[in-house]
Amino acid sequence: MSAPSNQAAWLLAAGSPLQVKEAPIPTAGPGEMVVKNFAVAINPLDCHMQDHGVFVQQWPAIIGCDVAGEVYEVGHGVERFKKGDRVIGHTINLVSGRPQDGAFALFTTVPIDKAAILPKSISYTDGVVVPLALEGAVCALSVKTPGIALPGVSTPALGLPYPSLEARVDSVGRTLVVYGGSSSIGSMTTQLATAAGINVIAISGAHNFDISKQCGAIKVVDRKDTLLVERVVEAVAEYGQDKFVGIFDAISSPETYADDVAILDKLHGGHLACTHPPPANVPANVTAGMIFAVNDVATPVWRNFVTPALESGRLKCLPPPTVVGKGLEHIQDALKKSAAGVSATKLVVKLED
C-alpha cells in the first residue's frame, strides 16, 4: 500500500489567497494525534489571520482551528484515542505557529486534550462546528484567575462551574447575559452555561430566537429592541438581581459595548467578558476582559463532557453547518463568505465523505 500524501491550503503571505499544494504528513508527538480530516470549519479568526497575518509565526502558514475526521496516528503513550476513531478537535496553530497544527489540510496534528470522540450518530460536518467555539465558551465561563489575552489585556475570570451531564437550569443560582446568542461562540456559551446550571438570558436577532432557545436560554431579548437595555435588566431581575454574574459579549463591537455598559450600570456592575479587547475606561464596578480561546481550562470539558453530552443530546452541534463545498480549494470561497457575515450558521468545507 502506498503511503498517503498530504495537501494543504497554504497561506503564503498576509492578504494573499490560499494555495492548495503538497504538505508533509504530520507526525504525532507525545500528547498528540494526527487526524485525517473529513471536514473543517471556518471561523472569523481565520479571516483576520489571512488578511493581516495576525498570530502567524511562520510562513508559509496553514491556518484553521476546527477539524473532524479519523485518527490516523497517535503519539507515544496516547491511550485515549486509537487509529480509526472518529473525532473532533481544536487545532492550535494560533499558539504553536507550526503549519502541521493548522486545520486547512488533509492531515492535521491535534492535541489529545483538545479532542473528543464523535458519536457515530453525528456527521463530521455537524461535529466540526463544535471545537473552537467550545474552548472559547469554557474560557468565557470557567477561568478562575485572570491571565493575559493580549499585551495589556487580561482574560475574564468568571470562575463559573463546568458544564455537567446532570445540572439543571437555575441550580447554581447564577444568571449570565449572552450578547450575540446566535453566533457560534454565543450559542456554545449559552449551551455550556445552561449545562452548568446557570440561567442564560440571550440577546439575539428576532429571526434567531429559536436557536438561543435550543441552546437553553431561559429568555431571549431582540437585539433590535429599542428598549434592549431595559428588557435585559427586567429579565435579570426576574431571576433575582443578586444572581447576576455579568455579560459575555460574543460580538464585542462599539454598539454592543455601549449596551453592555448601560446594562451593567443599571445592575450595579459585574463581569464583562469580551471576544475582542474590552472598552476602555469601564466603571470600577465592572471587571472586563477578553477571552483567548486556547487554554488548558477546557481539558476537563474535552475529556469528561463532550462525547457523552453529544451522545445524549445535551450538547448540540449548533449553530448548524452550511457546507460550502468539498475539497481544500473551497476553503478560500468559504473564507470570503465568512468575511461577508453569516447568520446562525457555521461555514464548513467537506474533505471526505
The binding site for ligand NAP (CB under 6 A) comprises 43-45, 136, 180, 182-186, 203-205, 208, 223, 250-251, 256, 275, 290-293, 342-344
| CB closer to ligand NAP out of 6 and 43 | 43
Of 177 and 309, which has the nearer Cβ to ligand NAP? 177
Shortest reach from residue 304's CB to ligand NAP, in Å: 22
Q: Nearest residue by C-beta to ligand NAP?
A: 205
For ligand NAP, the closer of residues 34 and 315 by Cβ is 315
Task: Write out the three cell numbers for 265.
Answer: 450600570
Decide if 68 contacts 85 (C-beta within 8 A). no
Nearest distance from C-beta of residue 46 to ligand NAP, angstroms = 9
- How far apart are CB 177 and ligand NAP at their closest, in Å? 12
C-alpha cell at position 205: 436577532
The Cα 239–Cα 258 span in angstroms is 24
Closest distance of CB 182 from ligand NAP, Å: 4
Min separation Cβ 227 and ligand NAP, Å: 15
| Residue nearer to ligand NAP on the CB measure, 90 or 314 | 90
Cα torsion 300, 306, 311, 314: sign:
positive
Based on its alpha-carbon atoms, the radius of gyration of the chain, rounded to whole angstroms, reads 20
Q: How far is the CB of 149 from ligand NAP (least distance, A)?
A: 7
147 residue type, one letter: G
What is the per-residue DSSP string for 170-220?
TSS--EEEEESTTSHHHHHHHHHHHHTT-EEEEEE-GGGHHHHHHTT-SEE
Closer to ligand NAP at the Cβ: 13 or 150? 150
Burial of 162 (0-12, 13-18, 19+ CB in 10 A): middle
CA distances from 83 to 26, 67, 242 (A): 14, 16, 50
What is the residue-wise DSSP string for 18-67? -EEEEEPPP---TTEEEEEEEEEE--HHHHHHHHH-TT--SSSB----EE
**Sheet strands (E) in 242-320:** 244-249, 270-274, 286-290
Min. distance of Cβ 291 from ligand NAP in angstroms? 5
Q: 199 or 256, CB closer to ligand NAP?
A: 256
Q: For ligand NAP, give the closer residue by CB, 175 or 275.
A: 275
- If the CB atoms of residues 20 and 115 are measured against ligand NAP, the closer one turns out to be 115
Three-state DSSP class for 163? coil
Please identify which residue in the block is written with the cell numbers 464523535: 118
Least spacing, CB of residue 341 vs ligand NAP, in Å:
7
For 16, 91, 193, 334, the CA distances from 321, given in Å and listed in that order, are: 26, 19, 22, 12
Identity of the residue, 186 or 197, whose beta carbon is nearer to ligand NAP in the bound complex: 186
| H runs (alpha helix) in the chain | 44-52, 93-96, 124-127, 131-142, 184-195, 209-214, 228-238, 254-266, 299-300, 306-312, 331-340
Least distance CB 338 / ligand NAP (angstroms): 7
